[in-house]
Structure 1
Amino acid sequence: MKSLVSAVSGLGTALLLLHSGCSTNPVSGKREVSLVSEEQELAMGKEADPQVIAQYGLYENEALQRFVQEKGKQMGAISHRPGLTYQFRVVDSPVINAFAIPGGYIYLTRGIMAHFNNEAQFAGVLGHEIGHVTARHSAQQQTKSTLAQVGLIAGMIASPQFGQYAEQAQQGLGLLFLKFGRDDEREADQLGVEYSSKIGYDAHQMADFFQTLQREQQKSTAEALPPFLSTHPDPGDRYNTVHQLATQWQQKMPATNLQVNRNSYLQMIDGIVYGEDPKQGFLEKGVFYHPVLKFQFPVPTSWKFQNSPQQVQMAPQDGKALMILTLAPGETLEAAAQQMIKQYQLQVVESKSITINGLPALAVVADQVAQQQQQPQQQQQQQQAAQVSARTLIHFIRYGNANYVLLGASSPQDFATYAPQFSSTAQGFRQLTDPDKLNRKPERVRVKTLKLRSNLSQALRSNGVPEARLEEMAILNGMQLNEQVNAGSLIKVVEQ
């Protein structure tokens, strides 16, 4: 949660104004039915891009952003849609993921950038995402689905189905991207091989990266799968297929020295933030700390938790409730409360001024009432209870010249069960003063030059990697622990 901002609404009316028609697929050359025109596709991407950036933030590294943009433009120029104005971004998320949205907007997380071990692996994945755009997978998928909501509060308030949000929190909420069918993923793999090969990279390296994904998948069997894994074909199958495709493309092309560029890539990502960045806030022993904004609050035991630049989200495993911490505009608590009540069309049940750890606050119980057709007043009163789709307990807390909002919601039937947890979480909001938490530094990838020939396990140990993290570092390096590494080789470790 690098910078809390108020929740954003959905992607706008462009998603609703879909008209059927036929178009020619730029990759296959075939005529196909499309409910999204190219103009609408471009408009959707243009509208969604700033919301993606607001939700996750751009990773603050000009050299890395410039590298991704330059390679992406080079690849876009030889793609099946060279006329598109592509945009490429590295977003500030530890999740291993890359994704595309309609109109040529492509994102790679710092998490996936840290796990690439050469430029050719990066180029293959970049080509894969460009392939989703050129084959219009995003636009076609739009006929079946809509882009994930960025403004989770609005979606939560509008729906009594809290389970889906608990499930999203459990899965890490991933990033904003569409889930493609496996045929689309295979076609994108083919295009990734083609595009990366055409700009001079060895696409066999793209296949090798699938081994990293497969090992990450195996490591995550007891955890939520990274989104890049959960929606893509089995990494083991892709490894073999992409190797075959790479060989075929290299046979078509004139003899040339295909690029891998391991050392230059590793030197470029030396120092990249690895894992969660404490300055965005972090969870430790059941308490969320934000060193930059200097606050803390408890997270209910066993609740799933997700932090993003825009908001903190929490949900119990049964999916029957949700809590969100965010900011609300307004010069006073009362102004902030009035705006939120009006924005989400809530009906206030009760409101009272309180103090939370010396901070002025408002506690508001309010209902989301389902819209009903005009009915006689008596009948409306009789059905009022049935109309309530969600009950909320919202705490507005004034701290540091800002209005913090801790919103808890559940169905009316479950509200009595969860209201004490909503309240105790809000009552635990306080100023952060612990120097250890305020000065917490992120872990970063550090690139080391080996002085002696050894296996990777010995090399990692000699660079201070503890036993418990040897396999994690082996995956980060795309190597096996027993693999031999020569003197002068570069390897990645993680340090503060």
Structure 2
Amino acid sequence: MSVIAASVLMGSAGVMGCATNPVTGQSQLSLVSESQEIEMGRSQVPAVQQSMGFVADPALQSYVSTIGMKMARASERPQLPWEFHVVDDPMVNAFAAPGGFIFVTRGILAVMNSEAELAGVLGHEIAHVTAKHSVAQMSTGLGAQLGVLAAAIISKSDAVAQGAGAVATLFTLKYGRDQETQADQIGHRYALTQRYDVREIPKTFMTLERIGAASGSASGPSFLATHPDPGNRVAKTQAWADTVSSYAGLMTDRDEFLTRINGMLYGADPAEGYFENGRFLHPALRFQFDVPSSWLTVNQKAAVVLGEPNGQAQIQLSGVQQSSPQAAMQAFQQQQGIQMGSAQNISLGGSPGVIAEFTATPQQGQQIRGQVLMVQHAGTVFQFVGYATAQGWGSHGGTVSSVLRSFRPTASNQVFQRARALRVVTLQRATSIATLAQQSGGAIETQALAILNGVDGNVTLPAGRRVKTVGYR
């Protein structure tokens, strides 16, 4: 977390009608015009940048954009205002906003091993736009979560609110399996048209499966959560690759890709805060708070959010502009629809604050109950707010209050995590993955390093091979 914000309900409106799908040629229900589609997508760009940030590497951004633009300009919708951005997020993910706005995380770049793999992912996301999957999902999926319903109440800044709310919408879109199969097949075609070796594409999906298996998560990495496996994905993409009559002249561009990602930040940036052993710690701002076990956690540049696993409650930390906790509390209670309980002055590890309960009814939403803490620390006033449905407050209100009251400065002797980066090295001698992991000084484990390089954990790599490893910055 570097800039902290809130989330808000995004809405969209359009005239219902039929249109011809530019990819399939079939007539389909259309809720928005192309100009509306573009505006829906364009609004996501500053929102994603504010909430998550873009990787501060112009050369890498240009590299990814150049690859994507070649495929997009050769697609069925070349007239769209296509943009491609590398998001500063460690999650293994890629996503498409309507109208031609494509995002890939540095997390997914880290686990790929060739430009052809990258082309496959970009082609897949381009296909979601050209086949109008993204606009269809956004048209039906906006405003589904409690946090989105309540956002207009807990944030007074429209700019801040639109940021995290828009990103939350993008991350909760879930394509259907038929759409995924179609995007896989169209993306294969886009990559092949640009002369990429499409035998690399199945490797990406194999890596995603390995990440899911290693994490023990039923849904796997973020990409698979929003892009569900339509079944036999690796086999299908391999079968499509096998139909290519000749691979002569097709590009893999492994060395170029590895050169481009060399030195890129790996994993979460601890300087912006991180979750560890039931706590959130922020090294730069030197504060911490407790995190309930089993709750979902998100730490982005614009928000730190905790979510009850069943979506019944949410807690969010945000920065405010007021100069004191009292002024911040007064601004909060002046929002339309807020009914405040009595406020109590409080000291949390020496940081002064004000805490109060509230009820609110967001527009077109069910009533919520919550508690808000305004606390001053390190020259900044923070808003720490938790809420649930009125019916769920009895079950979750105690947890919310406990988390808010756990905010405090970190101990002076607290040891913080160190940042890590990808290092691309050329092996001087045959070296096992296990040895490479040992040489990282604890920066990465053997299994994770094997997945990073797309090899088995017991393999020995030959001398002269360029490989990825991880080291501390």
Normalised by the size of structure 1, how large is the TM-score? 0.84
**What is residue 226 of structure 1 aligned with on the other side?**
221
**2:315 aligned with 1:295:** no
| Counterpart position of 1:278 | 270
Aligned ranges for residues 85-124 of structure 1 at < 5 Å?
85-124=81-120
Q: 1:236 to 1:180 in 2, by over 3 A?
A: closer
The amino acid that maps onto 2:409 is Q
Match of 1:404 among 382, 391, 412: 382
Give the equivalent residue in structure 2 for 1:58.
Answer: 54
Q: Residue 493 of structure 1 aligns with which residue? A: 469
Paired residues of 2:84 and 2:101 also in contact (CA < 8 A): yes
Q: Which residue of 1 aligns with 2:164?
A: none
- Any idea what the Cα deviations from partners look like across 1:430-457, whole Å, max 9, x if unmatched? 334536546x421222122112235x43
- Structure 1 match to 2:19: 23
Q: 2:261 maps to what in 1? A: 269
* Equivalenced residues, count: 460
Distance in 2 separating the partners of 1:279 and 1:145: 34
1:382-393 equivalent positions in 2, closer than 5 A: 389-393=367-371
Per-residue CA deviations over 1:290-317 (Å, capped at 9, x if unaligned) read 1222322222445443222222222445
For 2:369, the aligned partner's letter is R
Structure 1 residues 72 and 315, CA, compared in 2 at 3 Å: closer, same or farther? closer
Quick check: 2:113–2:258 contact (8 Å CA) kept in 1?
yes
Counterpart of 2:86 in 1: which secondary structure?
A: strand
Quick one: structure 1 residues 414 and 27, their matched pair in 2 at CA, closer, same or farther if it must change by over 3 Å? closer
CA 320–129 in structure 1, closer or farther in 2 if over 3 Å, else same = closer
Partner Cα separation in structure 1 for residue 273 and residue 234 of structure 2: 37
8 Å Cα contact 2:93/2:104 also seen in 1? yes
**Per-residue deviation, residues 160-179 of structure 1 (Å, max 9, x unmatched):** xxxxxxxxxxxx97963621
Matched, 1:471 2:471: no
In the other structure, the counterpart of 1:161 is: none
The answer on whether the counterparts of 1:273 and 1:445 sit within 8 Å (CA) in structure 2 is: yes
Change (3 A) 1:410 1:469: same
Match in the other structure for 1:323: 315
CA contact (8 A) 1:121 1:209 kept: yes
Verify: 1:460 aligned to 2:441, yes or no: no
The structure-2 alpha-carbon separation of the partners of 1:223 and 1:325, relative to structure 1 and needing over 3 Å to count, comes to farther
Q: Give the drift of 1:117.
A: 0.4
Residue 213 (structure 1) aligned with residue 208 (structure 2): yes
Q: Secondary structure at the match of 1:343?
A: coil
Partner of 2:422: 445
Q: C-alpha separation between the residues in 2 aligned to 1:467 and 1:424?
A: 34
Q: Is the 8 Å Cα contact of residues 113 and 453 (structure 2) preserved in structure 1? A: yes
In structure 2, relative to structure 1, the CA distance for the partners of 1:69 and 1:352 (3 Å cut) is same
Per mean C-alpha deviation after superposition, the further-off stretch among 421-430 and 456-465 is: 456-465
What letter is aligned with 2:464? G
Aligned to 1:422: 400
Give, in whole Å, the separation in 2 of the partners of 1:271 and 1:491.
13
Matched, 1:310 2:302: yes
Change (3 A) 1:489 1:56: same
Query: Which shifted more, 90-99 or 460-469?
Result: 460-469
Q: Which region of structure 1 is more displaced relative to structure 2, 390-399 or 114-123?
A: 390-399
User: How far did 1:198 drift?
Assistant: 1.4
TM-score for both structures, normalised by structure 2: 0.88
How many angstroms apart in 2 are the aligned matches of 1:58 and 1:263? 24
Q: Which residue of 2 aligns with 1:3?
A: 3
User: Which secondary structure state, in structure 1, belongs to the residue aligned with residue 233 of structure 2?
Assistant: helix
Match in the other structure for 2:188: 193
Identity of aligned residues (%): 35
SS of 1:33's equivalent?
strand
**Residue 346 of structure 2: SS of its match in structure 1?**
strand
Tell whether the 8 Å contact from 2:7 to 2:152 is kept in structure 1 after alignment.
no
CA contact (8 A) 2:208 2:221 kept: no
1:341 aligns to what? Answer: 333
Post-superposition offset of 1:3:
1.8
Whether the aligned pair in 1 keeps the contact of 2:38 and 2:99 (CA below 8 Å) is: yes
The Cα shift of 1:277 comes to 1.1
Question: In the alignment, is the contact (CA less than 8 A) between 2:370 and 2:387 conserved in 1?
Answer: yes
Larger radius of gyration: 1
The answer to which of 49-58 and 239-248 deviates more is 239-248
Instruction: State the alpha-carbon separation in 2 of the partners of residues 129 and 388 from structure 1.
Output: 35
Q: Please list every run of 5 or more consecutive structure 2 residues that lacks an aligned counterpart in the other structure.
A: 155-166
Mapped contact 2:443–2:470 kept (Cα < 8 A): no
1:100 partner amino acid? A
CA distance in 1, matches of 2:398, 2:147: 26
Aligned pairs for 1:68-79 within 5 A? 68-79=64-75
Q: Which deviations, in whole Å up to 9, do the C-alpha atoms of 1:389-417 show, x marking residues without a partner?
A: 32211110122332201112234455466
The alignment's C-alpha RMSD in Å is 3.0
Question: How far did 1:426 drift?
Answer: 3.2
Change (3 A) 1:26 1:332: same
Whether contact under 8 Å (1:213, 1:235) holds in the other structure is: no
Partners of 1:280 and 1:226 in 2: how far apart?
A: 22
Once the two structures are TM-superposed, the CA of residue 469 in structure 1 deviates from its matched residue by: 1.9
Please tell me whether the aligned partners of residues 312 and 388 of structure 2 are also in contact (alpha carbons under 8 angstroms): yes
Distance 2:441 2:242 in 1: 37
State the secondary structure of the residue aligned to 2:342: strand
Distance in 2 between residues matched to 1:70 and 1:442, nearest whole Å: 29
Equivalent position SS for 2:8: coil
Aligned to 1:481: 457
**Per-residue deviation, 1:464:** 4.3
Residue in structure 1 matched with residue 241 of structure 2 by the alignment: 246
